[in-house]
């Protein structure tokens, strides 16, 4: 007779499982939202789950069905977390919108997603009003964290109320997770700092597996004893997955609202006993400068994880020395949910330019410009490709795959992998400067100049040149109360890069333009400075010798 195999339970990997786990096993673990000054909102995971279920019922009562996109335009708050779990738990798709973009850009995204309901932070209502004027699909606005605006008579087809009122009037109960784990859960558009934004659709399965990868000891390694300050915004790349990872571990989740200045973050870290904080480098520079100016200490803080932009070695040293923390570097992208690689928390050999190693579930490949794998993956710079359980296969609204025949996604990054497996991002393929038929990599110049203690941020772009096609120029934002000559900026490059790589000009900017996610906005820099005529009058210092 044939042998009948055993079987395992069909436990669907849906994201509602995380808050259900936290509500059952860590019911009193807190979610804290900063409101400015000493004011905070405070709740537990059990109460948050109960609230999120009521939000699901309110959305269902307003016609939201499985697979519908529901948009959010909101800061990092308890109400936003409740909306996430409510939308995703019922099988709808949470389309997060970045309030740092223009109304026209956000309306274009909504017109693609066709979301009918928009959940908005009260202080973002004026922006929402501009968006819905251009987004035909939106018929309902639900306001969180404040009162609803009075728009009576402006648009009779637009329903506006608070989410609290919608909850109060909701009937019935919505069952969470009653669908396939491969169902879409979220939609986030890329930052668009090097091209037009594209929509990335996350699934419940991809988010679940991404969370398990985050929780590994050599990645975030969260435990129930941790308090995690999530400064990375919820409107960008799943807030790096922390609204899922914190409840999965039973960790305290600390949300800063819209306040990410150094004083506000220091206050939250101290009052809530934060042990780990996560965000882009510019955030931690603000915190560091506040602590340096006030002479305070943050004794509970043990780790800071940075990503989203390159970290200057001088800044990493300052943070670790003054705050007494370990800085964990990482690399990822919206298309990876977003975590790709991370330095291990206890790795004493970590450097600012090392992003770290991939955890299980992510694989890396270096290729030449034509996509052919390099013969030796540990010996040369190449074009970085990735694949994995939480990596994109195709963009929202696209029929064609974003991957090659073997499932590799071209990140657009140039990279090396050292002998220990550490990924080192060396630049963006789109940022390369072609001068006299040869390539110049701006990131190598930026890394050297950015390591100078007098420099806060550095960027190199190509400027049009009649003879060479393009020539590099260096733009710097100096650290506070610092001064430096052009020769002092360029001298560290000599002997470390080819002589013809030396920038032809140095420009000092009062403020380096940043994109919506804290990265240097090279599209803006190219627009403002790529032509010699547009740079006239902006030039500061002598022309550098080539």
CATH number of the domain that residue 94 is part of = 3.40.50.980
Whether omega for the bond prior to residue 343 falls within 30 degrees of 0, making it cis, is no
Confidence band, pLDDT 50/70/90 cuts, at residue 192: low
Among 151, 179, 207, identify where a domain stops: 179
In a domain, 61, yes or no: yes
Do 530 and 465 meet the contact criterion of CB atoms below 8 Å apart? no
In a domain, 156, yes or no: yes
Percent of the chain with pLDDT over 70: 96
Show Cβ contacts of residue 377 under 8 Å, excluding neighbours closer than 6 positions: 365, 366, 417
pTM of the model: 0.85
Mean model confidence pLDDT for the chain: 91
How many CB atoms are closer than 10 A to CB 179?
16
* pLDDT above 70 for 544: no
pLDDT of residue 433: 87
Q: Distance of alpha carbon 38 from its chain centroid, rounded?
A: 27
Q: Name the nearest CA neighbour of 85 among 59, 63, 122, 120.
A: 59
Grouping H, G, I as helix, E, B as strand and the rest as coil, residue 534 is helix
Work out the burial of residue 400: count CB atoms within 10 Å of its CB; fewer than 13 is exposed, 13-18 middle, 19 or more buried: exposed
> Strand 184-189 and strand 40-44: pairing?
unpaired
In a domain, 300, yes or no: no
- Computed on alpha carbons and rounded to an integer, the radius of gyration of the chain in Å comes to 24
Average confidence (pLDDT) over 497-514: 90
CA angle in degrees (0–180, nearest 5) for 19-22-24: 110
Convert 234-266 into a string of H (helix), E (strand) and C (coil). CCCHHHHHHHHHHHHHCCEEEECECCCCHHHHH
Find the domain containing 169 and state its range.
43-179
* pLDDT above 90 for 308: no
Average confidence (pLDDT) over 40-65: 98
CA angle in degrees (0–180, nearest 5) for 264-458-280: 35
pLDDT of residue 191: 66
Q: How far is it, in rounded angstroms, from Cα 47 to Cα 23?
A: 8
Do 136 and 111 meet the contact criterion of CB atoms below 8 Å apart? yes
CA distances from 453 to 120, 481, 482, 488, 506 (A): 41, 11, 9, 11, 17
Q: Write out the catalytic residue numbers.
A: 190, 335, 434, 439
Q: What is the pLDDT of residues 201-257, one digit of tens each?
A: 999 999 999 999 999 999 999 999 999 999 999 998 899 999 999 999 999 999 999
Work out the burial of residue 357: count CB atoms within 10 Å of its CB; fewer than 13 is exposed, 13-18 middle, 19 or more buried: buried
Q: How far is it, in rounded angstroms, from Cα 491 to Cα 449?
A: 9
pLDDT of residue 386: 98
| H/E element, 131 | helix 125-132
Of the chain, the end-to-end C-alpha distance in Å amounts to: 83
In a domain, 347, yes or no: no
Average confidence (pLDDT) over 67-91: 98
Convert 175-196 into a string of H (helix), E (strand) and C (coil). CCCCCCCCCEEEEEECCCCCCC
Backbone φ/ψ region at 147: left (φ over 0), alpha (ψ -120 to 50), beta: beta
Tokens of 401: 């795959």
Domain count, the chain: 2
DSSP assigned state of 180:
-
Q: What is the pLDDT of residues 172-183, one digit of tens each?
A: 899 999 999 999
Q: How far is it, in rounded angstroms, from Cα 81 to Cα 145?
A: 12
In a domain, 488, yes or no: yes
| H/E element, 69 | strand 69-73
pLDDT of residue 67: 98
| H/E element, 395 | none
Among 179, 206, 234, identify where a domain stops: 179
φ and ψ at residue 478, rounded to 5 degrees: -80, 155
* pLDDT above 90 for 279: yes
Grouping H, G, I as helix, E, B as strand and the rest as coil, residue 334 is helix
Q: What is the pLDDT of residues 129-188, one digit of tens each?
A: 999 999 999 999 999 999 999 987 788 889 999 999 999 999 889 999 999 999 999 999
Q: What ranges in 39-119 are assigned the alpha helix state H?
A: 45-61, 78-89, 103-113
Place of tokens 């701006």: 442
Among 179, 204, 224, identify where a domain stops: 179
* pLDDT above 60 for 537: no
In a domain, 126, yes or no: yes
φ and ψ at residue 413, rounded to 5 degrees: -95, 150
In a domain, 269, yes or no: no
In a domain, 544, yes or no: no
Q: How far is it, in rounded angstroms, from Cα 506 to Cα 386?
A: 36
> Strand 276-279 and strand 303-306: pairing?
parallel
- The strand ranges marked E within 204-352 are 227-230, 252-255, 276-279, 303-306, 326-332, 339-342
With residues binned 3-state (H G I as helix, E B as strand, rest as coil), the percentages for the chain, rounded to 5, are 30, 25, 45
Q: Name the nearest CA neighbour of 362 among 412, 318, 421, 314.
A: 421
Tokens of 190: 């890329």
**CA neighbours within 13 Å on the CB side: how many for 256?**
26
pLDDT of residue 545: 31
Return the CATH number at 467.
3.30.300.30
Do 256 and 264 meet the contact criterion of CB atoms below 8 Å apart? yes
DSSP assigned state of 373:
B
Average confidence (pLDDT) over 51-61: 98
């Amino acid at each position: 007779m044939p042998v009948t195999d055993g079987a395992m339970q069909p436990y669907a990997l849906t994201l509602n499982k995380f808050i259900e786990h936290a509500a059952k096993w860590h019911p009193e673990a807190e979610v804290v939202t900063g409101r400015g000054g000493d004011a905070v909102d405070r709740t537990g995971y059990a109460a948050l789950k109960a609230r999120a279920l009521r939000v699901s019922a309110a959305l269902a009562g307003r016609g939201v069905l499985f697979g519908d996109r529901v948009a959010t335009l909101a800061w990092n708050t308890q109400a936003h977390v409740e909306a996430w779990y409510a939308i995703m738990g019922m099988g709808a798709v949470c389309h997060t919108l970045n309030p740092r973009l223009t109304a026209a850009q956000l309306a274009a995204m909504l017109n693609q997603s066709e979301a009918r309901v928009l959940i908005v932070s009260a202080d973002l209502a004026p922006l929402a009003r501009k968006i819905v004027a251009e987004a035909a699909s939106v018929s309902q606005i639900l306001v969180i964290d404040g009162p609803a605006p009075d728009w009576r008579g402006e648009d009779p087809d637009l329903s506006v109320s608070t989410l609290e009122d919608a909850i109060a009037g909701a009937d019935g109960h919505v069952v969470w997770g009653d669908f396939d784990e491969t169902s879409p859960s979220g939609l986030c558009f890329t930052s668009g700092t090097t091209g037009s934004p594209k929509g990335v659709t996350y699934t419940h399965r991809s988010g679940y597996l991404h969370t398990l990868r985050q929780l590994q000891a050599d990645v975030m390694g969260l435990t129930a004893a941790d308090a995690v300050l999530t400064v990375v915004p919820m409107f960008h790349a799943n807030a790096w997955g922390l609204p899922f990872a914190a409840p999965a571990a039973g960790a305290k989740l600390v949300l800063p609202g819209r306040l990410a200045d150094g004083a506000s973050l220091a206050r939250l870290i101290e009052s809530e006993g934060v042990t780990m904080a996560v965000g882009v480098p510019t955030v931690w520079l603000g915190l560091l400068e506040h602590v340096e100016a006030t002479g305070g200490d943050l004794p509970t803080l043990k780790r800071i994880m940075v990503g989203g932009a390159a970290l200057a070695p001088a800044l990493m040293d300052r943070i670790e020395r003054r705050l007494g923390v370990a800085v964990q570097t990482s690399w990822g992208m919206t298309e990876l949910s977003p975590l790709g690689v991370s330095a291990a928390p206890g790795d004493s050999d970590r450097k600012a330019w090392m992003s770290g190693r991939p955890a299980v579930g992510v694989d890396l490949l270096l290729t030449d410009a034509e996509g052919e794998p390099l013969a030796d993956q540990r010996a040369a710079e190449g074009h970085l490709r990735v694949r994995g359980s939480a990596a994109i296969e195709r963009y929202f609204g696209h029929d064609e795959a974003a991957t090659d025949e073997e499932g590799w996604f071209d990140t657009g990054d140039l990279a090396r992998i050292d002998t220990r497996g550490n990924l080192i991002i060396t630049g963006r393929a789109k940022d390369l400067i072609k001068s006299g038929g040869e390539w110049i990599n701006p990131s190598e110049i930026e890394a050297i100049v950015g390591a100078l203690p007098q420099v806060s941020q550095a960027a190199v772009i190509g400027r049009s040149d009649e003879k060479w096609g393009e020539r590099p120029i260096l733009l710097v934002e100096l650290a506070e109360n610092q001064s430096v000559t052009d020769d002092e900026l360029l001298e560290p490059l000599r002997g470390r890069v080819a002589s013809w790589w030396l920038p032809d000009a140095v420009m000092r900017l009062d403020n380096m333009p940043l994109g919506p996610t804290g990265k240097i906005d090279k599209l803006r820099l190219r627009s403002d400075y790529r032509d010699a005529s547009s740079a006239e009058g902006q030039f500061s210092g002598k022309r550098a010798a080539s």
